[in-house]
Copies of this chain bind each other. A is one copy, B any other.
Amino acid sequence: MATVTQPSTGPMRDFASVFGKLRPHMAALDAFLREQIAAFEPEIRAMADYCIDASGKRIRPALVFLSGGNDRNLVQPELVKVAAVVELVHLATLVHDDIMDEADLRRGRRTATREYGPEAAVLLGDALFAHALHLASQFPTPAVCRAVSDSTRKVCAGEIIQTLRRGDANVSLVDYHRVIDLKTAELFRVSCALGSELAGYVPGFVIAAARFGRQLGVAYQIYDDLADFFGHEKKIGKTLGTDLHSGKMTLPLLLLLEGIESRERSELFAEIRGEKPARPAHWIAAMEDKGIFDRVALEIENELVTGEDALAPFAELAPAKGLRQLSDVLRDQVTVLRA
């Protein structure tokens, strides 16, 4: 009987289906996260539970499990705990992001800020973050706390810088890369570093895994910014061009601004700053016209290759194989956007 191979240009393969082997690890993570609810004061347990829903992609936990993986695919309690830490930090930042974006929905359900009000959501995010650090402090040395708190400060700094520079005509490509390095790549990086370190891999591999994680994070954020313009709702369920309204200066927009003449630039900035109604369809057509999709896709590919190069000397290790698969998942997703 012939094996049916899913073509890479077919329907998007999501992280969960590709990483079937992570299923026992993710099940252990979900059980662990549920147990954590009991640590919260009774009055806020339902709110914490609401945020720790199982519908997220759990990319950062996947990085922890893959970086610390072994040939027998055993579930390691230390990795489950650190996966919970990075996921809780991520969930806390989502709760706060949704307040700032005044978002009503995330993954098809009401955001915490919409459900409980922005006041409670600010504090709920804080409580989730505090609990993440509390879990981090249960390791025998303060190294996990140190890494996680440092990453968190960087994630926040990246978000602040992005927020302060919304609609700013002086944002350069260098500025954009700095923001995504802080707001996204940093937590990807630390997930790989902690996963491989706690699993006892040699320092050389920990450094390589961290490097891979960082590059994957950069590539992932660029993909996410591309999908904001090119991810038709039927493909990935996103409303198109929301970054245009929000004033976020992402890569497709920066490339477009580079390639249009000054009158058009003025019009685009008026829309970015909310002074005129946004015309995402118009600008997406302009991006298509100027080959911006391919330029962005090439940037993603370059980031992925740099990350894979870092893993190359460790190709025989179990985690290196698993991590490389994640690169391919992201490549597939870019292909789906192009279709």
A149 within 8 A of B: yes
Q: Cβ of A163: which chain B residues have Cβ within 8 Å of it?
A: 117, 119-120, 123
* A164: chain B residues within 8 A (beta carbon): 43, 116, 120
**Most central of A47, A99, A143, A164 by chain B CB within 10 Å:** A164
Instruction: Please state if A44 and B161 are interface contacts (CB–CB under 8 Å).
Output: yes
Provided the pairs A120-B164, A142-B141 are in contact, do residues A157 and B41 lie with their beta carbons within 8 angstroms?
yes
> Size of chain A's interface in residues, with CB distance under 8 A?
51
A142 contacts which of B124, B129, B130, B139 (Cβ < 8 Å)?
B139
A156 to B145, CA, bound (A): 20
Set of chain B residues within 8 Å of A104, measured between Cβ atoms: none
Contact of A96 among B43, B123, B145, B156 (CB under 8 A): B123
Set B44, B152, B160: member contacting A160, Cβ < 8 A: B44
When distances are taken between beta carbons in the complex, the residues of chain B under 8 Å from A137 are 137, 142-143, 145-146, 149
Stoichiometry, as copies per complex, reads 2
B-chain residues with CB within 8 Å of residue A130 when the two chains form the complex: 129, 149-150, 152-153, 156
Sorted nearest first, the 5 A-B pairs with minimum C-beta distance are A137-B145, A130-B153, A133-B149, A137-B146, A134-B149
Mind listing 17 A-B residue pairs with CB under 8 Å?
A: A44-B157, A96-B122, A96-B126, A99-B122, A100-B123, A122-B122, A123-B156, A124-B156, A125-B126, A126-B126, A127-B160, A130-B150, A130-B153, A133-B152, A137-B137, A137-B146, A145-B145
Given contacts A41-B154, A136-B145, A136-B149, 17 further A-B contacts (CB under 8 A): A40-B153, A41-B157, A43-B157, A96-B122, A100-B122, A117-B163, A120-B163, A123-B163, A126-B156, A127-B156, A129-B130, A130-B149, A133-B152, A137-B149, A138-B142, A141-B142, A145-B145
